[in-house]
């Protein structure tokens, strides 16, 4: 990445274990596409319920050459009781799918361009 990973915790304490996990998942994205410009991950404590536990919102913004991938996993999208790590995993899985689709579209676009046209 041209810009180092940015990780923001909102409405919750910083967690070294979660930060390490997010860094590893971001490195995996970089192995899928090595020209990622930036990656900003926000982990937000969206709410707490005495029966269902904490609800986490995880957002990922990938800056790419000529585009971006945005992923936001809201608590309503997730079953109750997921840990912040599990919510982050689901968001990164979605980011991987979107990044693979974006790379596939970019490669198809390059193959469609006429050669030698000035």
Tens-level pLDDT at each residue, the chain (118 residues): 899 999 999 999 999 999 999 999 999 999 999 999 999 999 998 866 545 567 889 999 999 998 999 999 877 666 666 888 999 999 999 999 999 999 999 888 877 766 655 5
In the chain the beta strands, taken as DSSP E runs, fall at 6-10, 38-49, 53-64, 67-73
Structural class in CATH, domain 6-112: alpha beta
* pTM assigned to the model: 0.85
Q: b/e for 73-109, b at 16 or more Cβ within 10 A?
A: bebeebeeebebbebbbbbbebbbebbeebeeebeee
């Amino acid at each position: 990445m041209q810009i180092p990973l940015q990780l923001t915790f909102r409405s919750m304490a910083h967690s070294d274990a979660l930060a390490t996990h997010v860094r590893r998942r971001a490195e995996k994205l970089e192995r899928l596409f090595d020209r990622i410009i930036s990656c900003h991950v926000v982990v937000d404590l969206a709410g707490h319920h005495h029966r269902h536990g904490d609800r986490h919102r995880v957002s990922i913004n990938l800056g790419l050459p000529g585009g971006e991938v945005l992923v936001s996993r809201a608590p309503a999208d997730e079953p109750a009781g997921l840990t912040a790590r599990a919510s982050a995993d689901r968001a990164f899985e979605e980011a991987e799918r979107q990044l693979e689709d974006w790379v596939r579209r970019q490669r198809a676009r390059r193959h469609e361009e006429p050669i030698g046209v000035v």
